[in-house]
Structure 1
């Protein structure tokens, strides 16, 4: 039997492109994927469970993990830290499960620096006009904030070269189908298969 290690898949793209919607739809079909659980220093809320919703840490514990390079990425929002724990990702991959991380562009670039063997997927809007419509449709953004988000989106799109794949989110089911194809093709790459079979041959010879 082939002892296959899992693959880290990172889905990223500008705010409003639909990362969360695509990820939720993907998980309806691809049930063997493990979602990357984030770590935070914010207080646990009613109904949440440590190790399910988040890994909850004190600021001192979190900062200690940063110093030890135990986070693949992290950021600070409203006086609280949020990040992706390296140990959870590596242990889950070692157990043979793929890990899926949905994250903003700057966080994805941090992950690539710390875990370059991951597979990075950029979710692209059909057009900037469509992206603007999606942000406006939320009804939670002021005109000035919409303008700032679109400006930031343009800057993030320029970083697309850092990714392995680009998926246009024209329709959610189409985008999900393309991501499923990426996952399948990554597992069929010659170098992954070759490593596995070389190990089998070595075991048989020994």
Structure 2
């Protein structure tokens, strides 16, 4: 029997989104999870496609009604996984790939302990720093914060996370093949 739920976690800059975008289209029975958020839509973002956009009050009501698998507040906005989305996809026979941070994964596992965890790691912190700098999208302070967060996230994942698989993303083609193999299980 094929696994139904997969959770990818990675520090910023490890290449998780690139890997996901490269591989997921090869699995027609798999969907990428849509999160709920209280942040305003960015140009071109569509409700129910990119995110489920909620008011702060709506999101807090979902939390109070235990309608979120996991949630967190980041930079003043809430983000989380609605149970209704997960259950709808499963009832339609779909498999679901989630992108959750290592802290959200712990909470996710309380509701869906059968989920397969995939930890995407950079080859080293030095290479991670180089990737973040190469993006040229963040200030020096943001890069430093992302590196500090990466150290904390990796340590937390190693100690508290449930990750059946680890992929060190030092070669995109090899990492993508490893992800394909995992998603085929």
Query: Larger deviation: 169-178 or 102-111?
Result: 102-111
Q: Is the CA contact 1:37–1:54 (under 8 Å) kept in the aligned structure 2? A: yes
Is the counterpart of residue 37 in structure 1 residue 17 in structure 2? no
TM-score by length of 2: 0.87
Structure 1 stretches of 4+ moved >6 Å: none
Cα shift at 1:91: 1.8
* Residues 168-189 of structure 1: per-residue CA shift (max 9 Å, x gap): 111222212111211223xxxx
Q: Is the CA contact 2:38–2:55 (under 8 Å) kept in the aligned structure 1? A: yes
Q: Is the CA contact 1:34–1:100 (under 8 Å) kept in the aligned structure 2? A: yes
- The structure whose Rg is larger is 1
Number of residues of Structure 1 aligned to a counterpart in Structure 2: 182
Aligned to 2:158: 160
| Equivalent-residue separation in structure 1 for 2:6 and 2:79 (angstroms) | 19
SS at match of 1:116: coil
Cα shift at 1:46: 4.9
TM-score by length of 1: 0.79
Q: Is the CA contact 2:2–2:184 (under 8 Å) kept in the aligned structure 1? A: no
Aligned to 1:116: 113
| 1:46 to 1:136, Cα distance in 2 relative to 1, 3 A | closer
| Equivalent-residue separation in structure 2 for 1:126 and 1:52 (angstroms) | 32
| 1:169 to 1:43, Cα distance in 2 relative to 1, 3 A | same
Cα shift at 1:45: 4.8
* Unmatched 5+ stretches in structure 2: none
| 1:46 to 1:167, Cα distance in 2 relative to 1, 3 A | closer
C-alpha RMSD of matched pairs (Å)? 2.1
Match of 2:95 among 94, 98, 101: 98
